[in-house]
Amino acid sequence: MIKIGIPRALLYYQYYPMWKTFFEELGAEVVVSPPTTQAMLSEGSSRVVADTCLPVKVFCGHVLSLVDKCDYVFIPAVRSVKSKVYNCSKFLGLPDLTKAVIPESPPILDIDIDINKGKHKLYQAIYKLGRHFTWNPFRVRRAAIAARQAQLNYRELMSSQGLTPPQAIERISGTAEVKSKTHSNHSIPTQATIALIGHPYLLYDEHINHRLIHRLERAHNRVLTPEMLTTEELESATVRLMGKAYWTYEEEVVGAGEHYLESGADGVIGIVTFGCGPDSLMMDMVRRQAARLRATPFMNLTLEEHTAEGGIVTRLEAFLDMI
């Protein structure tokens, strides 16, 4: 059986159930890299120039952890998933970057996803990817349909049950018993409702964010995240604040920020990485909106390779005390 490696980084938290379903429907076994460690981050950082953003350094470390553990590594080039809405350059060149800096990587399965080129080009790209496993186009089509349905179910599960992506993945995989955020233990009073906004590869990587969600929940706070909102809620909030989105994952920052600032959250925390141009602009729009509304406290946390745990804890405790 062919083994397909999937790095637990970048777009993993958005699309893993879809990718897993597609490959398993074609008879492959999916192997996921382990959670991020300092060794993985250090190894990934050693392969790229210093100016490379933190998420890509983490991604390279995950690819290195999959060497000798799989037959292929799946690294898609996601250019656009909506018409005239574009992705960050790090996603566009990810397969080529990986080939250049990790020559010992297993062969890379890449697919160019760009809705702006039309559905026909997208279908061709899917069939081209599927031909690594079968020459039967109908089998590839069935796998693609099943994968699409798995993605819809995944999004519905998170928004309806109030789950984070790691919780939803555990629920789908049956690997752990998960309680939804909205049905947590009521014997312990909730101190505050804190909304986290940012990209999933920052919010749910416990190594680079120093277990932020765990710290908030341990202090008896209810945590809300962008995935707990429906697509319609995110899109409408984005339009209210800035009109039509330009960046592919803008709704995770701008849409979620606008929604939670006006929906009764006691505080909003934005998570970005140092040196990220799109995120710095989007998070600043949310900060300005919070200043205009003067209703909900807002804090921006900037993460980078050398971010100290003590600094995160100090700022978090001060923010919670203020609320």
Q: Are 149 and 290 members of one domain?
A: no
Q: Looking at the structure, do residues 199 and 102 belong to the same domain, yes or no? A: no
User: Does 311 map to a domain?
Assistant: yes
* pLDDT tens-place string over residues 87-125: 888 888 899 999 999 999 999 999 999 988 988 999 999
Q: Let me know if residue 40 belongs to a domain.
A: yes
- The torsion angles phi and psi of 195, rounded to 5 degrees, stand at -100, 130
Q: 110, 136, 155 — which closes off a domain? A: 155
Average pLDDT over residues 4-22: 95
| Residue 161, domain member (yes or no) | no
CA of residue 264 relative to chain centroid, distance: 25
> Which pLDDT score is estimated for 8?
96
| Residues 28, 138 within the same domain | yes
**pLDDT for 182 beyond 50:** no
> Domain check: are 96 and 201 in the same one?
no
Phi, psi at residue 158, to the nearest 5°? Answer: -65, -45
| Tally of domains within the chain | 2
| Averaged pLDDT for residues 70-84 | 90
Percent of the chain with pLDDT over 90: 69
Segments forming the whole domain that contains residue 193 = 189-322
| CA atoms of 292 and 298, how far apart (whole Å) | 12
Same domain membership, residue 150 and residue 44: yes
Does 117 lie in the same domain as 55?
Answer: yes
181 lies in some domain: no
Read off the pLDDT of residues 128-171 as tens digits, 9 standing for 90 and up. Answer: 999 999 999 999 999 999 999 999 999 999 999 999 999 999 99
**DSSP one-letter code for 179:** -
CATH of residue 130: 3.40.50.11890
- Please tell me whether residues 133 and 204 are part of one structural domain: no
Q: Which residues contact 275 (CB under 8 A, 6 or more apart)?
A: 51, 53, 54, 304
Both 143 and 197 in one domain: the answer is no
Q: What is the pLDDT of residues 234-285, one digit of tens each?
A: 989 988 888 887 777 888 899 999 999 998 789 999 999 988 878 888 899 9
Q: What CA–CA distance (Å, rounded) separates 160 from 183?
A: 12
